[in-house]
Structure 1
């Protein structure tokens, strides 16, 4: 629990609510019900283990803040998320009603725990601890099976480690919805490319064969796409996008938009996790991803 004044309001309430919901308790020392609900809110904050942050504002001392929130009686509690008030209640409600109020808005405990595991996994990966990252991602998906971001990172890492069978097992629970979730669809396209090339005994010879067909006919889109699939399967993503661009420059809608969809899938796969930055700043974009996004836009919009 933090006592908030006009001096630290921006940091402790507005900025903090961008990451974690903030419950603001407006109170005053003379208020009897405030003395009842105050300790109860502190207990609930502990029980919820990081799902929200509790702050207190003395409405007598911080009248400017009380007026800004339109406080007419105390205790009044206001919940902020992403810098904006989303709901509130007045009076010293019992513990059960306060928890019902919070549960309407807060992410589930499983989701919070899984997100923390995912963040720890990405930190481990940045430090070169691949096995540690893998373990944390598996834990994140186990804790919250609906966390598609954690599942994407897990399946992607397994594929990068050439553990395709494990990747398919991890992907199986979401395969039915993959077509409607872009990043999951991107993984599915990568796995399909890898499966298609698994029986190719000599990838270099196959690439040379396809390149010869393309040289003979630059509009041999089937051969170009097969070459892109071969390159994608072996994680040669930039050359694969180059081949897909050649198709798009000649026929944007070829094969029901297959080239563009595969190109976007590769962008999803190669895009690194966004680093944490200060509030209001935009994380830097990977230069390769930025370049090939621009090239796609240039071709599609031309």
Structure 2
């Protein structure tokens, strides 16, 4: 089993979050951001939202395991610094204001208290702007789990995806991977229950949207007829569109995705309105279930578009 999130020794908590003054700003923000992005929290003791946001920021920074650092600047205690930064274009009239510095320059910011998901997204952008890995190594773990799944090591892949989600419950690729593990084990109901339980923050991501299509196709596969018999019916009567549609579903169930797409495109060419546009709907479901860069999906979409707009 791979060691999730394996990274160099993370800095101690005291090194990740610092109270910064006018005297230390250059060293702790500008100079430090040359090596790692620095998230600067401009706050004040009288600011109610600051008291909520500050701990949330510190938690998110700690979760990044050294990929970012945080500087806290009390604007009342550092008025000259705040004024100088405002003159350089930072809008510090309203607090809390949070600014990400990368390579000595501000690259992103937000104002006011925001949800934890937005803070995580903000930090991810800062890390990526600095050329780092915002996942804390979890993306590498996902790739390893995907390889396990491709090689048929389904249970190991499922265990790895589940472990990743323990560290980052909003990791959409890991969530989708776990759903696909259930599908590989023919546990369709569990796959659907897992997908329906996905956090709202990631429920509309492309990875999880694809899972809906994959589950629909898996349910069809359970009812698919024998490929040889359906192929014989189509060969005997090429205009038997129901047989061609059933053949496409059977081909897909037997992992002949390209063959299924070919049959559906032929059906669409013969009668695009058949069964209320069932061929087009089935094609779109197959395309949604595939990786957007999959050559079968790319070629199929092009052919379908050329037919629609011919």
Q: Which bin holds the TM-score, normalised by the shorter protein?
A: 0.5 to 0.7
Paired with 1:122 and 1:167, the residues of 2 have a C-alpha distance of 22
Matches within 5 A, 1:37-116: 41=54, 45-46=58-59, 49-50=62-63, 55-56=70-71, 60=81, 63=84, 67-72=88-93, 77-78=97-98, 85-88=109-112, 103=116, 105-106=118-119
Secondary structure of 1:71's counterpart equals coil
Contact persistence 1:158–1:167 (CA under 8 A) = yes
Which deviations, in whole Å up to 9, do the C-alpha atoms of 1:91-143 show, x marking residues without a partner? xxxxxxxxx655484469xxxxxx87974552213554744421132346688
- Note the C-alpha offset of 1:223: 0.6
Whether the aligned pair in 2 keeps the contact of 1:189 and 1:262 (CA below 8 Å) is no
- Which of 288, 297, 302 is the aligned partner of 1:289? 297
Partner in structure 2 of residue 171 of structure 1: 192
The residue matched to 1:224 in structure 2 has which SS? helix
Residue 122 to residue 296, structure 1, CA distance change in 2 (3 Å): farther
Task: Identify the residue that residue 250 of structure 1 maps to in structure 2.
Answer: 270
Query: 3-state SS of the aligned residue for 1:256?
Result: coil
Give the conservation status (yes or no) of the 8 Å contact 1:117–1:139.
no
Aligned to 1:25: 41
Compute the TM-score of the two structures, normalised by the length of structure 2: 0.58
**8 Å Cα contact 1:118-1:137 kept in structure 2:** no
2:260 corresponds to which residue?
A: 240
Query: Within the alignment, does 1:262 sit opposite 2:282 as a pair?
Result: yes
Higher helix share: 1
Q: CA deviation at 1:7?
A: 10
Alpha-carbon RMSD: 4.8
How many angstroms apart in 1 are the aligned matches of 2:165 and 2:297?
27
Kindly tell me: are residues 253 and 157 of structure 1, through their superposed partners in 2, closer, same or farther at Cα, counting changes over 3 Å? farther
Whether contact under 8 Å (2:188, 2:215) holds in the other structure is: no
Relative contact order higher in (CA < 8 Å, ≥ 6 apart): 2
Q: How does 1:136-285 map to 2 (within 5 A)?
A: 136-139=160-163, 150-160=174-184, 163-164=185-186, 166-172=187-193, 174=195, 182-197=209-224, 203=226, 207-271=227-291, 285=293
Q: How far apart, in 2, do the equivalents of 1:104 and 1:152 lie?
A: 19
> Structure 1-normalised TM-score?
0.59
1:3-18 aligned at under 5 Å gives the runs 3-5=28-30, 12=37
Distance 1:252 1:133, change over 3 A: same
Gaps of 5+ in 2: 1-15, 18-27, 101-106, 122-134
Partner of 1:277: none
Q: 1:136/1:196 Cα in 2 relative to 1: closer, same or farther (>3 Å)?
A: same
Moved over 6 A (4+): 115-118, 141-148, 175-178
SS in 1 for 2:219: helix
* TM superposition shift of 1:229: 0.8
Deviations 1:200-243 (A, max 9, x none): 5xx3xxx3332233234333210111101111111111111111
How many residue pairs match? The answer is 242
Which deviates more from structure 2 when the two are superposed, residues 182-191 or residues 119-128?
119-128
**3-state SS of 1:134 partner:** helix
